Structure 1
Amino acid sequence: MVSSTSVILSLLLIVLLPSSSSASDSLQYRFFHCVNLTSESSIPFSTSFFTPNNASFSNILQSTAQNLRFLIPSRPKPELIFVPTVESHIQAAVVCARQLGILLRIRSGGHDYEGLSYTSETELPFMILDLSKLRSINVSIEDNSAWVQTGATIGEVYYQIALRSKTHGFPGGMCTSVGIGGLITGGAYGPMMRKYGLGADNALDARIVDVNGRILTRVSMGEDMFWAIRGGGGGSFGVLLAWKLQLVEVPEKVTVFTLSRTLEQGATELLQRWQQVADTLVEDLFIRVLVKKVNATSQAGKQTIQTAYQALYLGKADSLLKVMKKSFPELGLTKEDCIEMSWIESVIYIARYARNVPPEFLLQGRSFFNKFSFKAKSDFVKEPIPAYALEGIWKRLLEQDSPLVVWTPYGGMMNKISESEIPFPHRNGTKFMIQWLAEWQNEGTKGSIAHHIDWLRELYNFMTPYVSKFPRAAYANYRDLDLGVNNLTGKTSFTDASNWGKKYFQNNFNRLVLVKTKVDPDNFFRHEQSIPLFTTEI
């Protein structure tokens, strides 16, 4: 029996949609009507439904999208955006999208490097299921855990933990505006990874809507599916509603520092030494290296390469100085370089915000920096990169307008967790990870965009002899469609998908495919690099 609320909502839809018989309008109507009839919630959702005819459609589309490269007019746009406020609306959305054959894009924070949470590489009609309104955070210090809805950002999670305890934290990512939903699905590394592992290593439970619209927890989904969603990539197994996170111990005072060295100050030699020791330092110490092009101070108009050593130490400055004197004296750290602060203040610092930015800023759920266009790639390194190869990197960085390279150390707890414990396999034997970024502010012409991307691809090719091999590994949260894509209009063979899947997940890819085939046999949850079904068909 259709309720009076359903009738009212259907009338609202007639007002919202133009009187047109186009296929697009029909699809929008059918989806709205289906959700209206399917959802068990009495909470209205007409204001959560946006079509290209809505004045606010563009603002909603752009609201959390982080890579401007995918917001240009020529990119495919969704037929509709649904921003639910309750879980039952998400259940209904999955059921209805499946019934109507609508390609579903799931967005929590919008940091997807290839924009797959809000655009598509095909012309197939698609919709966005935007989870940004589901962002409740319930922290239990007594239980050392927190239930977090997937629309919340990792910065909001950090803030809510710190609000309740000065000695608790969570080992998640460094970019505070990333949505917690997608972050954990790829692994989630951060400055406490050498002490406590990845964010995905510290996920205790989850709530997820499966392909049949059911809400499952760890017990009801089973250990295979729970294994798969912690590091197996987002958008393959269902719609994540919430994570239960394991909190970790942090001292009341931690120590941070940033020391920069240019080529003229011996940057190449110092980075060679960092490569030898970064993964062997005490687990409480994390030192990453940010590499970029800067103006040289010694000669006007000349540019050089700067390496910035940014660190978090889970302890006080005096203890850190002893560690550095023993293990990495070449950096020349002094007490004046060290800054003691609370853990939540270190979150702000590591995210490269200004020192005067208060922790409350994290509640805004956005980045302090302006958005830009970018293309990224990633590598894992098992042997130190020789000096002559570093010089080749410097030469290429000087050719690009605004390059950024981030070197992240491994070792510590990352060596102690099995490569098959979760789908994220890059563990024992990895010295550090590299993120390669080409950034630009203005789209310009297609030729200028291609110039930036081609530059990055050439640098990536140059690095082939010096990084991991068989396969050349990559990080799933730094999605890179250059590695290969699925066939969204047909079937993708297991062999073809392995070309990119083995790079992200290595031997864990096989198990991910088996889980996918079991829990989503019709491959409803799919995108250009979603886990495929086990099939040999092309």
Structure 2
Amino acid sequence: MKLSHSICFLLLLTLSCASSSALAQDENPQNFVNCINLHSIDISELVYTQQHSNFTQTLLSSINNLRFPKPDTPRPLAIVTPVSESQIQSVIYCSKEQNLEMRIRSGGHSFEGLSYVSALPFVVLDLVKFKNFSFDAATETAWIGSGLTIGELYYNIGKQSNVLGFPAGLWANVGIGGHFSGGGYGMMKRKYGLAADNVEDACLIDANGRILDRKAMGEDWFWAIRGGGGGSFGVVISWKVKLVPVPEIVTVFRVSRTLEQNLTTIFHKFQSVAPKLPKELDIRADIQSILSNASLRADNRTITIGFDSLYLGRANSMFSAVEEYFPELGLVREDCVEVNWLQAMMHFTNLEFSTPPEILLNSTVLPRPAFKSRNDVVQVPIPVQGLEGLWEKMYQIAPQQATLQFTSYGGRMDEIAESALPFPFRAGSLYELNMFVQTETDEAERVEWIRGLGTYLTPYVSQNPRSAYVNYVDLWLGTNNLNGTTSYEQASKWGKRYFRNNFDRLVKIKSVVDPCNFFRHEQSIPVISAGKISLCDP
């Protein structure tokens, strides 16, 4: 793009802010297509309208919650899969020019479909082709594209070094763009904090089409994109991350216990001990109801809990640490398996140790269920009576159709200030409780069950506000108004739950960097207007 053309183009982007808050007047996708063809070179083959033969395949390619691909789910007028920054600028400009909402998709892992569903006429900007990975051995850093999945990130790191890793999430098919935007945690958070804690720079395109790095955007803006949730502050196309040291050999274990094996006592102890383990050791837990011949119930149901663990060291040291801090688990040395770091990351994606690592490049390798989720943060251990009531709630759903996930904090997480990033759950938070129920069948009944489960847990989880993690987005907490502005008070109903006191700072930053509220969705950070007439007014 020539310099003069670029300057004029950015001016058009800025002036088009006036129409960005209005409803689309024309839902003909061809007008949008004509616009981006006019303003971008070689983009026509990257645009999929509903009439395109590959539209449905492209839309479904990274939808990870099959609760949304239904006949009555709103579909985008077009999906664009750009390969360059200038093409993204064109999509932003033409979305404004045509009064369309623009949703940004990285891995399509939004639990409420916010990256590919909207009640208003919209287009999807899909970053699937932004998969760059540029490693700097001297600084042990890497620039990585937002279109990479976690699995692709781990695979690329493993190709470069067997003593470097990165503290991102467990599931290989999650896109890093959304993962980093909400903070992002995995099995090394107790040693190294969140993924976002280890981001050193970023490349972002704002609502006016400007391409900004950390220095250009400033520290407030850079703070907001590392945990303030995706889709509010711009299109982050790449991130510079600091890789972290890992031993050549790490150790994992995966063991399960049932009610008949004293599960309640074991888990009650786990709640308080897991955050106090050595930083090198992380243990998470998943709970389900299952059928078992060992059950004492007439229906053969029992509760099982699976413990998954990573230790940054050898097996003997791991075993000694568990014996010292958590003997109730009954771990034996044979449960501990020594592997390299990349194999451990594959293990937590439920892949066999012997699986060729190239499988991490397959973004469709994992199941994609239909589900509804809820999320809470726990600050005080749930008492035994509360746990027993929780098990009874689990018996109300068919076996293996609901899962409770317990992710412990502590370690490095306790050492970072609550205000360091928008993600606020540091010291004082024991663990995060994620609730999932599959909805392929009996959807209405199961959705009501998980609503009731949230009600049951109210006395046992964080209060004032009752907190939740933005990467497990839940529209039951509240939403922005479909049309017009949303008040601070209204948005606080969910904003304070995700970000606590950091929400106020996020709102101030949003109001400065995107005053026309172009980047928006049902739970995007709102803009607080000063009441003055501006280009944003329709």
TM-score (norm 2): 0.92
| Match 2:378 to one of 357, 381, 384 | 381
CA–CA distance in structure 2, aligned partners of residues 428 and 370 of structure 1: 34
> Is the contact between residue 140 and residue 242 of structure 2 (CA under 8 Å) also seen in structure 1?
yes
CA–CA distance in structure 1, aligned partners of residues 430 and 415 of structure 2: 14
* Structure 2: runs of 5 or more not aligned: 3-23, 532-538
Query: Equivalent residues in 2 for 1:231-242 (5 A)?
Result: 231-242=227-238
How much does 1:297 deviate?
A: 2.7
CA–CA distance in structure 1, aligned partners of residues 456 and 214 of structure 2: 44
> Is the contact between residue 107 and residue 175 of structure 2 (CA under 8 Å) also seen in structure 1?
yes
> Is the contact between residue 27 and residue 77 of structure 2 (CA under 8 Å) also seen in structure 1?
no
For residue 230 of structure 1, what is the amino acid of its counterpart? Answer: R
1:490 aligns with 484
1:284 aligns with 280
CA–CA distance in structure 2, aligned partners of residues 276 and 450 of structure 1: 35
1:511 equivalent in alignment to 2:477? no
| Match 1:524 to one of 495, 518, 532 | 518
* Higher mean C-alpha displacement, 528-537 vs 173-182: 528-537
How much does 1:32 deviate?
A: 2.1
TM-score (norm 1): 0.92
CA–CA distance in structure 1, aligned partners of residues 469 and 392 of structure 2: 25
> Is the contact between residue 27 and residue 121 of structure 2 (CA under 8 Å) also seen in structure 1?
no
CA–CA distance in structure 1, aligned partners of residues 25 and 146 of structure 2: 29
2:32 aligns with 31
How much does 1:353 deviate?
A: 2.2
| Match 2:467 to one of 464, 470, 473 | 473
1:66 equivalent in alignment to 2:67? no
CA–CA distance in structure 2, aligned partners of residues 166 and 141 of structure 1: 13
CA–CA distance in structure 1, aligned partners of residues 457 and 360 of structure 2: 36
For residue 337 of structure 2, what is the amino acid of its counterpart? Answer: I
How much does 1:535 deviate?
A: 4.2
Percent sequence identity is 46
| Match 1:161 to one of 157, 160, 170 | 157
CA deviations on 1:99-126 (whole Å, 9 max, x unpaired) are: 2211011101000000011112x2x211
1:310 aligns with 308
| Higher RCO (CA-CA < 8 Å; seq separation 6+) | 2
2:452 aligns with 458
How much does 1:138 deviate?
A: 1.2
1:406 aligns with 405
> Is the contact between residue 155 and residue 360 of structure 2 (CA under 8 Å) also seen in structure 1?
yes
CA–CA distance in structure 1, aligned partners of residues 272 and 46 of structure 2: 53
Paired residues, number: 506
* Higher mean C-alpha displacement, 354-363 vs 396-405: 354-363
Query: Equivalent residues in 2 for 1:214-293 (5 A)?
Result: 214-293=210-289
* Structure 1: runs of 5 or more not aligned: 3-22
> Is the contact between residue 67 and residue 374 of structure 1 (CA under 8 Å) also seen in structure 2?
yes
| Match 1:199 to one of 195, 199, 218 | 195
What secondary structure is seen at the aligned counterpart in 1 of 2:216? helix
What secondary structure is seen at the aligned counterpart in 1 of 2:472? coil
For residue 422 of structure 1, what is the amino acid of its counterpart? Answer: L
For residue 105 of structure 2, what is the amino acid of its counterpart? Answer: R
How much does 1:439 deviate?
A: 1.2
> Is the contact between residue 37 and residue 44 of structure 2 (CA under 8 Å) also seen in structure 1?
no
* Higher mean C-alpha displacement, 255-264 vs 83-92: 83-92
> Is the contact between residue 511 and residue 529 of structure 2 (CA under 8 Å) also seen in structure 1?
no
How much does 1:55 deviate?
A: 1.5
> Is the contact between residue 24 and residue 79 of structure 1 (CA under 8 Å) also seen in structure 2?
no
> Is the contact between residue 67 and residue 113 of structure 1 (CA under 8 Å) also seen in structure 2?
yes
Query: Do the aligned partners of residues 535 and 390 (structure 1) sit closer, same or farther apart at CA in structure 2, a change above 3 Å counting?
Result: farther
> Is the contact between residue 495 and residue 536 of structure 1 (CA under 8 Å) also seen in structure 2?
no
CA–CA distance in structure 1, aligned partners of residues 483 and 377 of structure 2: 33
What secondary structure is seen at the aligned counterpart in 1 of 2:276? coil
2:346 aligns with 348
How much does 1:316 deviate?
A: 0.2
> Is the contact between residue 110 and residue 118 of structure 1 (CA under 8 Å) also seen in structure 2?
yes
> Is the contact between residue 141 and residue 165 of structure 1 (CA under 8 Å) also seen in structure 2?
no
How much does 1:333 deviate?
A: 1.4
CA–CA distance in structure 1, aligned partners of residues 482 and 412 of structure 2: 38
> Is the contact between residue 152 and residue 365 of structure 1 (CA under 8 Å) also seen in structure 2?
no
> Is the contact between residue 488 and residue 526 of structure 1 (CA under 8 Å) also seen in structure 2?
no
How much does 1:304 deviate?
A: 0.9
CA deviations on 1:340-369 (whole Å, 9 max, x unpaired) are: 000000001112223342211001233x33
> Is the contact between residue 190 and residue 413 of structure 2 (CA under 8 Å) also seen in structure 1?
yes
Query: Equivalent residues in 2 for 1:408-427 (5 A)?
Result: 408-427=407-426
CA deviations on 1:223-276 (whole Å, 9 max, x unpaired) are: 110000000000001111001111000000000001110011110000011112
> Is the contact between residue 165 and residue 246 of structure 2 (CA under 8 Å) also seen in structure 1?
yes
CA–CA distance in structure 1, aligned partners of residues 450 and 247 of structure 2: 40
How much does 1:88 deviate?
A: 1.1
CA–CA distance in structure 2, aligned partners of residues 285 and 267 of structure 1: 21
Query: Equivalent residues in 2 for 1:313-328 (5 A)?
Result: 313-328=311-326
How much does 1:45 deviate?
A: 1.5
> Is the contact between residue 208 and residue 215 of structure 1 (CA under 8 Å) also seen in structure 2?
yes
How much does 1:33 deviate?
A: 2.4
CA–CA distance in structure 1, aligned partners of residues 27 and 324 of structure 2: 69
> Is the contact between residue 106 and residue 129 of structure 1 (CA under 8 Å) also seen in structure 2?
yes
1:502 equivalent in alignment to 2:499? no
Moved over 4 A (4+): 23-26
How much does 1:502 deviate?
A: 0.2
2:94 aligns with 96
